[in-house]
Amino acid sequence: MEQFIKSKLLKADLKEIDQQLSENGFKNMSSMLLVKQALLTVSNLVDFEVTIREVYKEHRVLSEKYRAFEKNYKFAKYLRNKFIGHIKQELIQKSIEWKPELRYLLKDSDESNTIFAFNLFVLETAINTYVNPDGSHQLFDSETDLIYPPDMKRFLTYLSETVKSAIDYLHDLGQALGKNIEMLDPSEQKLEHWMAAGKTKFEFIKK
């Protein structure tokens, strides 16, 4: 049941993000937060997938769906680890080197458009650090400049395809997990569940 609920939470987040970005585009801090949340949620899917592989024994197509976009998902997790869930000092240092514009925007750093640019430049730097030991890019075929329209389009296409594929995967995963769960009738509620709830003791959730 826990895995089923988690799959639904992840899918709901991605569906809402996909809808909002599709309707409003990527142009300000509100949309930047949606992009960050999309990458965070996809990276959570990467962690979640490791825990549900037992279901692949009866649903091989699910495994194939995940593998088809695994590179995209791992890239999202990289961005989560370096820029979103954690903001690595090394990334900021590299951003200042890569985007000298940052030095000239410091006085206006509280302005919405400026902080959007800060985020865009650091995101761009994080994308460009996703390289192999020989310096070749792991996902895209060249350096990314998000101010350059074709590069921005390439990134947004990546994001859209990644989010939509994850939604599709989570939909099918939810169906597979749901087959082994008793779906209770709301009109026939059992007192024992409320009695158990009344005995709940909350404890700090450890990592």
Distance CA 151, CA 142 (A): 9
Neighbours of 115 (CB within 10 A): 16
- Global pTM? 0.92
pLDDT for res 37: 97
Residues of the chain with pLDDT under 50: none
Of the candidates 139, 120, 151, the one whose C-alpha atom is nearest the C-alpha of residue 29 is 120
The reported pLDDT for the residue numbered 135 is 87
> Max CA-CA distance within the chain?
65
Q: What's residue 39's pLDDT?
A: 98
pLDDT tens, 76-92? 999 999 999 989 999 99
Token output for 38: 């999309």
What pLDDT was estimated at residue 43? 97
Q: What is the pLDDT of residue 76?
A: 97
Specify the pLDDT at position 164: 98
- Residues 139/158, Cβ–Cβ less than 8 Å: yes
Give per-residue pLDDT as tens, 150-171: 999 999 999 999 999 999 999 9
Checking phi first, is residue 135 left (phi over 0); if not, alpha (psi -120 to 50) or beta?
left
Q: What is the pLDDT of residue 206?
A: 85
